[in-house]
A and B are shown apart, each in its own frame.
Chain A
């Protein structure tokens, strides 16, 4: 049995970001057929059972990989140092995830002469919204891509960034889309009576384009003053967005729900007419698949990776809030449009599964 050492950062139920969800779902499946050991910072003293081995590195993370400050960078470097010492040299493959595990990955490859796989969930360009990306992080990402024997990108959109912005041979990059936990989202029967609710669900950051959501809300409000716009999520930009919304006189139109758990999110999707993701640069966009799985139509930016595999969503440039507003109004006004986008979208979303993701990841391992 092949042995894979996975260098991770977060794992539900703790720090359940996109990276954590990916790690849990993918390796729960691969853990059944491969000898998987996941290395993560020690986030608990409790003994939690997973379908794969978990080795907690004695290091308190305190922070999310999405934070963009100096302290966080230093913490990543510290974690990577410790990781190298605790790594078991008997693994056949080292699998790193995003820049936060790259320094250790590269050193371990040199030290033990093992094959190195690098999954790129997002690049510094995405996280910065293409606005002053941090050079030192770009450098780490580039080094990781150079050192890796194979790179996995979560979309063709991301593969393009890897080859064009980092000058990496695209032949080395395999695109593997994320899956969705279908049982959680798809077991509901959505009804398409008008709820008059428009949903934004995700971190409130420049990357996700929350500002454009507010702009669209302002434009829709002129035509449908009764429509409620929900911002569910937290992030660096939350206060700025709240102020922006207030400055446009949308106090009674836009409501901020704060942090929302996974189970609450299902309810939110169900109770909304349409989900909006106007991301400036979104490598995949798992929430789009979640929303569609529930049967809620989605309006997404053209710079959202998952859009490349979807016909039954509405796509606009993230900055084109006139067009986004036209789409929102149409979905709210025209019931047949809601129904058709919802029903066909649900069908299309059902094609995404973690089993597929696992199978394709296995092919990458086997090709080494």
Chain B
């Protein structure tokens, strides 16, 4: 029986406030918490609550991750969601993945900081759900052999990443592989994942409308041991609104899977029942973002690199309780100037209007912090 390994990533940054140069030295509220609250509440209603309730009702085992900074904001603004998460895990045997607590890029520049973030995420999730979770999903699926090596210091068993074009030209993403350090590696089947997350409600798509029978047929005809469907949690109800029929689709998909000889399993369950097909080595950083599937969504232009360099240089002097929240990758993502199709996705998420506004904002905040805490150095 082929397995459906569904992984849903829930994450919301703590967005930075609109901070003008004239605010430097005067204002101290760097975070746009009013907006953050509004977004958390909206997405909870549109997506987290209805989706988790549905998954709980069907007791379907899948793997989820809620980033540390999202959990913090949920406790503050919408505590029903963490409670519902608990109920879901109890009902279904679902799995929580671990990740960098602040959804940062620390894995590519500061192994120490990265390990601390992952440990913090592990600890907090263990404390809440009373379970050791051993599946790692780094920020935005960022991965290379270097990360495999770093996480070897942790009690991690499985790693999730993107099945990029160059990888899947050699390795069918519908199998499990081993990393150089012996972790199980799961490659996202991006075509089948994006059929739901990007294309589901696209009327221009020649497969529109997508019904569960057709989709389950594709899955059952796709050769291999498992199908890795990794996507944003917010796909359900937020990116694809309930009016698109996404919840009806999800229900039918879960209910009818067995008719197609398909079974839902968590990442960890899959790793226990399937034998890996050899080793994969990935030298350059890959991710699941944008068309290039590399680091360019965050570090693709001079503005982003400038911010990142300044941010790194101020590590020692900015207080950690502020600094950690500045590391969240979204702040750099908003500054992407990308290519046309990606720009549409970027501007959908951008709360500042333009990449330039996002840059100026973040840069002004860093300038304020530099003057305030780093003696202007």
B153 vs chain A, min Cβ distance (A): 36
Query: Are A333's CB and B21's CB within 8 A?
Result: yes
Complex Cα distance, B357 from A312, in Å, reads 11
Query: Are B302's CB and A336's CB within 8 A?
Result: yes
Please, what's the 1-or-0 string for A340-355, where 1 marks a CB less than 8 Å from any CB in chain B?
Answer: 1100100000000000
Q: Is A51 in contact with chain B by the CB < 8 A criterion?
A: no
Q: Assess A323 versus B20: contact at CB under 8 Å? Given A330-B360, A337-B360.
A: yes
The number of residue pairs between A and B whose CB atoms lie closer than 8 Å in the complex comes to 50
Query: Are B354's CB and A327's CB within 8 A?
Result: no
Query: Are B303's CB and A330's CB within 8 A?
Result: no
Q: Is A334 in contact with chain B by the CB < 8 A criterion?
A: yes
Give the one of B21, B303, B306 with max A CB within 10 A: B21
Q: Which residues of A contact B22 (CB under 8 A)?
A: 219, 223, 322, 325-326, 329
Q: Assess A340 versus B21: contact at CB under 8 Å? Given A311-B354, A326-B360, A330-B360.
A: no
Query: Are B20's CB and A340's CB within 8 A?
Result: no
Q: Which residues of A contact B354 (CB under 8 A)?
A: 311, 314-315
Q: Is B337 in contact with chain A by the CB < 8 A criterion?
A: yes
Complex Cα distance, B359 from A1, in Å, reads 53
Complex Cα distance, B355 from A336, in Å, reads 13
Query: Are A341's CB and B356's CB within 8 A?
Result: yes
Complex Cα distance, B359 from A340, in Å, reads 11
Q: Which residues of B contact A325 (CB under 8 A)?
A: 21-22
Q: Is B363 in contact with chain A by the CB < 8 A criterion?
A: yes
Q: Which residues of B contact A340 (CB under 8 A)?
A: 301-303, 337, 356
Complex Cα distance, B356 from A8, in Å, reads 40
Complex Cα distance, B22 from A327, in Å, reads 11
Query: Are B306's CB and A327's CB within 8 A?
Result: no
Q: Is A10 in contact with chain B by the CB < 8 A criterion?
A: no
Complex Cα distance, B21 from A315, in Å, reads 16
B26 vs chain A, min Cβ distance (A): 12
Q: Assess A326 versus B21: contact at CB under 8 Å? Given A311-B354, A339-B302, A344-B337.
A: yes
Q: Assess A337 versus B356: contact at CB under 8 Å? Given A330-B364, A344-B337.
A: yes
- A residues bordering B, Cβ < 8 Å? 219, 223, 311-312, 314-315, 322-323, 325-327, 329-330, 333-334, 336-337, 339-341, 344
Q: Which 9 A-B pairs have the closest CB atoms?
A: A326-B20, A336-B306, A329-B21, A330-B360, A336-B302, A326-B21, A340-B303, A340-B302, A336-B303
- B residues bordering A, Cβ < 8 Å? 20-22, 301-303, 306, 337, 343, 354, 356-357, 359-360, 363-364, 367
